[in-house]
């Protein structure tokens, strides 16, 4: 990675920070209803005021005939009775008129005090009249007031209290237009306060939180110059030490949220306080950004990243290579011809998977190194029929090798023998009403199946020396990747209307040269290969070319979806929560420009 540049303090422009507030059209709306829930109440009045840059552009008010009697206490509260709404339009006529007054979603923001209440009624009204809700951005003045108004200034954040605080020209009286006018004055008072805190744009207003310190906001110049593009961003301190690495589909928007958004993670506020620079690394595709993030985290081990910092600490279950092999928990995958299962998220998961294999095969469980020339006393497991006792000579090296071959096959290919043995034990324990023991054996089988599916997926992809794949991009172009031995070797984008084949050929010619090592993940971390697999398995992905077939074992763990779908977060060492489906892709479909 190139050296991290020193920060340059630049005055932020409105364009850099988002849409300036003075260019936004706010439509402040208030409703009166027959009750508190749109499921059991109807709208009786709609009032709205349209403002921009502090200037009132128009007002809207209409009574609405709810079609049901108005409760007496509502009439006392609002002054709206059945007689008041007699002759008023029904909602099917009043709502379209209001939506026409609001206008398009482009540059228009709906504002309400306790917005969820008003928006719920408006959305329910659209549904009842077979209209699509326009989807305007919504601003809640009550939420903003809770961020900037103290209890010493106002006893609560009710509209009446805030209207008194900001000296509104209209006193709210539970009539829609009056309350909307009062809300306009409250909105302007809040915007004035927020402007003193550095809030100048709609993005900053929508994401404002008082929990973001002034120190964080003052560092928003660090987001200057970052592109609106996918990639990786690197926070570093004054000494150039990497503090945090993240990824985003829009680098500028994402980094800006660290200084203006409601970032509630304490360690992120601390990180921003130490940060002196943000370095962007633009990537051709989101997959490249995800992979680069993993590599940078593993390389720099930033103190404020919690995930993926130590891929070398992953746990594996190893079938050792010796005269009488055994299962062993290890952290390093060596080039010794052994079979490996994993990676696992914890030692507990390794123990469960080990127990499942011991349930199905008479593999020795002792840790001593046995010699075929020197006998030693057998343990209790031999007397119980759980071990063939190679230690005392009852099993020869050749006979014991049959157990070893079966275990290796179960780990890397055919899991049926393990599933049959452990499932039978679960059934017998359940019939005996020994449910806790049955649950333990079920967990053992689940841990084994998930680990076997993971390593079989890894081996299926890493066994392919080179794979070229493509997926339709959002702009109707193509995202292209080259994967070599499970490692992302290159990625590119073919724009809309451009023939992707020459670009794919050029990408293959210029992609990273990958020399595989050993183990289930010989060229990249298992997590990186999992990222590539998820991308390949997305709907619409096309396999352009591959040097070897890409398929899962016919009787592998990937077919046991009931075990793969359940409680996967306890066994998955990675952050994703996706399924592990059986994978098979046709070769060389035709790409169109």
Q: DSSP secondary-structure letter at 590?
A: P
Angstrom distances, CA of residue 242 to CA of 95, 273, 305: 54, 14, 10
Q: Which residue's entry shows tokens 């699509």?
A: 132
Which residues, 6 or more positions from 93, have their beta carbon under 8 angstroms from its beta carbon?
Answer: none
CB 24 within 8 Å of CB 199: no
Q: Which residues are catalytic?
A: 174
Q: What are phi and psi of 3, to 5 degrees?
A: -60, 140
Where are the strands (E) in 249-293, listed by range? 277-282
Task: HSE, CB side, 13 Å, CA atoms: give it for residue 290.
Answer: 19
d(CA 385, CA 67): 80
Q: Which helix (H) or strand (E) holds 251?
A: helix 251-260
Whole-angstrom distance, CA of residue 29 vs CA of residue 58: 12
For residue 115 the two structure tokens come to: 């917005």
Per the DSSP assignment, residues forming a β-bridge with 62 are: 46
- Is residue 207 within 8 A of residue 260, CB to CB? The reply is yes
Q: Are 392 and 320 a contacting pair, CB within 8 Å?
A: no
């Amino acid at each position: 990675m190139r050296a991290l540049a020193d920060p340059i303090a630049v005055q932020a422009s409105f364009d850099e920070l988002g849409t300036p507030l003075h260019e936004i059209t706010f439509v402040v709306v208030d409703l009166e209803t027959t009750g508190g829930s749109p499921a059991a109440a109807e709208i009786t009045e709609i009032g709205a005021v349209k403002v921009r840059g502090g200037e009132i552009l128009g007002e809207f008010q209409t009574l609405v005939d709810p079609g049901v009697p108005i409760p007496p206490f509502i009439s006392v509260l609002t002054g709206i009775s059945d007689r008041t709404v007699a002759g008023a339009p029904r909602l099917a006529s009043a709502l379209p008129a209001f939506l026409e007054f609001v206008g398009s979603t482009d540059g228009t923001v709906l504002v309400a005090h306790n917005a969820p209440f008003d928006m719920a009624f408006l959305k329910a009204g659209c549904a009842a009249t077979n209209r699509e809700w326009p989807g305007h951005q919504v601003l809640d003045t009550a939420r903003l007031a809770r961020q900037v108004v103290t209890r010493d200034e106002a006893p609560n954040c009710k509209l009446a209290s805030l209207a008194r605080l900001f000296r509104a020209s209209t006193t709210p009286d539970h009539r829609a237009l009056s309350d909307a006018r009062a809300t306009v004055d409250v909105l302007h008072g809040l915007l004035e306060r927020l402007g003193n805190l550095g809030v100048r744009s709609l993005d900053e207003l929508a994401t404002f939180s008082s929990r973001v310190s002034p120190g964080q906001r003052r560092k928003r110049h660090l987001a200057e110059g970052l592109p609106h593009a996918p990639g990786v961003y690197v926070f570093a301190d004054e000494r150039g030490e990497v503090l945090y690495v993240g990824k985003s589909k829009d680098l500028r928007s994402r980094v800006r949220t660290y200084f203006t958004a409601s970032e509630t993670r304490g360690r992120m506020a601390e990180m921003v306080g130490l940060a002196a620079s943000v370095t962007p690394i633009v990537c051709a595709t989101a997959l490249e950004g995800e992979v680069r993030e993993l590599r940078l985290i593993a390389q720099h081990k930033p103190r404020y990243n919690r995930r993926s910092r130590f891929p070398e600490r992953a746990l594996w279950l190893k079938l050792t290579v010796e005269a009488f092999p055994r299962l062993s928990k290890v952290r390093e995958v060596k080039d010794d011809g052994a079979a490996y299962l994993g990676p696992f998220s914890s030692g507990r998961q390794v123990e469960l998977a080990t127990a499942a294999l011991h349930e199905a095969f008479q593999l020795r469980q002792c840790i001593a190194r046995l010699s075929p020339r020197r006998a030693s006393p057998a343990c209790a497991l031999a007397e119980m029929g759980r071990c063939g006792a190679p230690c005392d000579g009852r099993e020869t090296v050749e006979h014991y090798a049959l157990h070893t071959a079966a275990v290796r096959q179960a780990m890397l290919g055919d899991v049926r023998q393990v599933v049959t043995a452990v499932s039978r034990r679960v059934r017998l324990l359940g019939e005996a009403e020994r449910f806790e023991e049955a649950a333990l054996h079920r967990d053992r089988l689940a841990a084994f199946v998930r680990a076997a599916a993971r390593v079989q997926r890894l081996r299926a992809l890493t066994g392919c020396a080179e794979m070229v794949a493509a997926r339709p991009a959002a702009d109707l172009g193509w995202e292209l990747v080259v994967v070599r031995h499970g490692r992302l070797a290159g990625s590119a984008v073919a724009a809309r209307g451009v023939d992707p084949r020459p670009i794919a050929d050029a990408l293959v010619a210029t992609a990273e040269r990958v020399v595989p090592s050993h183990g289930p993940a010989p060229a990249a971390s298992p997590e990186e290969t999992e990222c590539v697999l998820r991308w390949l398995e997305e709907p619409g992905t096309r396999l352009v070319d591959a040097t070897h077939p890409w398929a899962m074992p016919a009787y592998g763990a990937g077919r046991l979806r009931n075990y793969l779908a359940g409680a996967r977060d306890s066994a998955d060492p990675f952050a994703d929560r996706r399924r592990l489906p059986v994978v098979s892709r046709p070769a060389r479909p035709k790409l169109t420009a």
